[in-house]
Structure 1
Amino acid sequence: MAAVQAEGARRRWRRARGADAPRSKRKPRPFWQELPILVVVAVVLALVIKTFFVQAFSIPSESMQNTLQPGDRVLVDKFTPWFGATPERGDVVVFKDPDGWLKGEGEKVDHPNAFQQALSFIGLMPGAGDQDLIKRVIAVGGDTVQCDPGQPVRVNGTALTEPYIYPGATPCDDYSVGTITVPKGKLWMMGDHRNDSSDSRFHHKFGPGDGFVPQSDVVGRAFAVAWPLSRWSTLPVPATFQQHSLAASTAASTAATVPMLLWYRRRTRPLGR
């Protein structure tokens, strides 16, 4: 009997605390209440992706034909430069206008409306008003470039085989610059449509600037054509830039330095007892 009374007392105590009351299920929010949250999350993700990972750019001119056509949308890798990656020979890169190149390029700089600016800001469409250009890296800091009429482009004395050049265009005839050395931290850029590209050759001869593009001005490497879908393709480094002789000048200077270092060490070695 005492046990029954104790159990009854416990039940009354639990009922008083509400323990036996059925738990009310949380009602899901209406979609119209969740929609603003979803939009904010999507915008934040788009901003993060555009800022640190991948951004779309629109091709405005014919200077990179036939690799890229006007109206193509390319995807640009902005992630790897955060880890110290630098442009290499053969890369197609987007870079900031270094010295007013857009005026010489003859490219139309669009003035987007407010809606286009908003979509561009969050990365949902290419920035129509961005002051950026796209070219191919032909040489990097320390390289020697030779560009003479009727001759192929030579980098460190090695001739490039360039099947990507626009059909009928010549490698150097329009703006030949002879032989130049690219300063450290700079890049030598050329368009694939050599007869219709005001690139490093043009600006080295006529300005503005010296034709070299600061490595720090590079926004990222274009790695794919994303639109239109019929032109979907990747943008790999052409095989001609894989020639070992392109780095011959560096190897030669290193080889020449070794005997000098050995000679110096022998001259400065302490005399034996």
Structure 2
Amino acid sequence: MDTEAQHTERDRPSTPEERSRSARVPEGDAAAGPARGRLSWRGAGLTGIACTLFLLLLSHFVLQPFLIPSGSMEPTLQIGDRVLVNKLAYRFGDEPRRGDVLVFDGTDSFVREPAEENPVAALLQGAGAALGLAEPDETHFVKRVVGVGGDRVVCCDKEGRIRVNGTQVEERYVFFGDAPSKVPFDIVVPDGTLWVMGDHRSRSSDSRDHLGSPGGGMVPVDRVIGRVDWIGWPFARWTSLAGTDAFARVPAPGTVPAGAGGHG
């Protein structure tokens, strides 16, 4: 006789009622399922809020993502790139240098004071921009420093090149086929300000376009948000931003040889 088979058959519910009773889940376990689910969602929500706050604080004080909205800095930066702006670059006594790529607030230099907008919409847009998920504020720009306080910047010489403090600058970062500038200028950069230009000169609205505006197209150093040090997205373009030696031979301001700074 197969006793194991008998026990197996005997342990099975023999009637529909018994089978129904055996399938019931204890009330305590049934209540615990939704409660655990609510706790899980609540924990995930709190974690998400904490992460968002951390990223916003990081963006505000240390490293801010910035979405490139136009082609004015091609080929260095392309439309849709997310760059990382180092906000600590000039916090400890260092100053912007010629060749640095900067993000700055152009209020009162490139644009007038923006019109008031819905505060909730402004808050959401600002948070999205701070995380690199939305286009930057209309007052924020990304350009390259061509002249610092005291520099004399002239365009263009006989060879069509920009001169800084009398020295010709070989701008290999300029978009292929673009002239250094089709707008002639001869300016001296006031102390505490910057002369900035885009790398895609024919598509960049920069200091040249504001020569007749208050401030003469100069960007106050205290309006600089930070230096662009990395391209973070897309992953195929992940890299640190290469420096340039274009200004390596440029002398300090005030050392321009007589007659060296003109158009020639």
- Alpha-carbon offset, residue 118 of structure 1: 7.3
Q: Is the 8 A contact 2:64 2:130 kept in 1?
A: no
Residue 222 of structure 1: aligned partner: 228
1:98 is aligned to 2:107: yes
**Aligned-partner SS, 1:66:** coil
1:101 Cα deviation after fit: 3.0
Aligned AA (1:180): I
Q: Is residue 204 of structure 2 the alignment partner of residue 197 of structure 1?
A: yes
**Correspondence for 1:271:** none
Larger helix proportion of the pair? 1
Q: Which of 248, 252, 255 is matched with 1:247 structurally?
A: 252
1:221 deviation in Å? 0.4
Unaligned runs of 5+ in 1: 1-27, 104-111, 253-273
Task: Return the match for 1:151 from 160, 174, 179.
Answer: 160
Letter in 1 for 2:225: V
- C-alpha distance in structure 1 between counterparts of 2:164 and 2:123, whole Å: 45
Aligned to 1:138: 146
Asked if 2 retains the 8 angstrom alpha-carbon contact of 1:101 and 1:208, the reply is no
Distance 1:119 1:99, change over 3 A: closer
User: In the alignment, is the contact (CA less than 8 A) between 1:140 and 1:188 conserved in 2?
Assistant: yes
Cα distance, 1:125 vs. partner? 2.3
Q: 1 CA distance for matches of 2:195 and 2:145?
A: 6
Number of residues of Structure 1 aligned to a counterpart in Structure 2: 213
**1:212 Cα deviation after fit:** 0.6
- Please report how far the alpha carbon of residue 43 of structure 1 lies from its aligned counterpart in structure 2 after TM superposition: 2.4
Structure 2: which 5+ runs fail to align? 1-35, 113-119, 258-264
Shift of 1:226: 1.4
- Give the counterpart letter for 1:188 in structure 2: W
Q: Equivalent residues in 2 for 1:37-186 (5 A)?
A: 37-99=46-108, 101=110, 117=125, 119-120=127-128, 123=131, 125-148=133-156, 150-172=159-181, 174-177=182-185, 179-186=186-193
CA distance in 1, matches of 2:69, 2:254: 37
Instruction: Note if contact 2:102-2:226 (Cα within 8 Å) is conserved in structure 1.
Output: yes
**Structure 1 residues 153, 114: closer, same or farther in 2, change over 3 A?**
closer
2:195 maps to: 188
User: Is the alpha carbon distance of 1:40 and 1:98 closer, same or farther for their aligned partners in structure 2, counting shifts above 3 Å?
Assistant: closer
Q: CA distance change for structure 1 residues 241 and 232 in 2, over 3 Å: closer, same or farther?
A: same
* Cα 1:157–1:121 shift into 2, 3 Å: closer
SS in 1 for 2:103: strand
Q: Is the 8 A contact 1:98 1:214 kept in 2?
A: no
Distance 1:100 1:137, change over 3 A: closer
Query: What percentage of residue pairs aligned between the two structures are identical?
Result: 39
CA distance in structure 2 between the partners assigned to 1:87 and 1:123 by the alignment:
24
Describe the superposition over 1:2-51 as per-residue Cα deviations: whole angstroms up to 9, x where unpaired: xxxxxxxxxxxxxxxxxxxxxxxxxx995345334423321231122011
* Aligned mates of 2:72, 2:130 — CA distance in 1: 27
Q: In the alignment, does 2:241 pair up with 1:235? A: yes
- Given that 1:98 and 1:213 are in contact with CA atoms closer than 8 Å, whether structure 2 keeps it comes out as no
The answer to whether the 8 Å contact 2:230/2:241 transfers is yes
- Are the aligned partners of 1:187 and 1:215 in contact in 2 as well (CA < 8 Å)? yes
The one-letter amino acid paired with 1:93 is L
Residue aligned with 2:49, SS: helix
For each residue in 1:107-138, what CA deviation from the matched residue of structure 2 results, as whole angstroms up to 9, or x when unmatched? Answer: xxxxx979963751662624444520110000
Q: TM-score, normalised by structure 2?
A: 0.71
- For the residue of structure 1 that corresponds to 2:246, the secondary structure is helix
**Residue aligned with 1:88, SS:** coil
Flag the 1:196–1:127 CA change in 2: closer, same or farther, 3 A.
closer
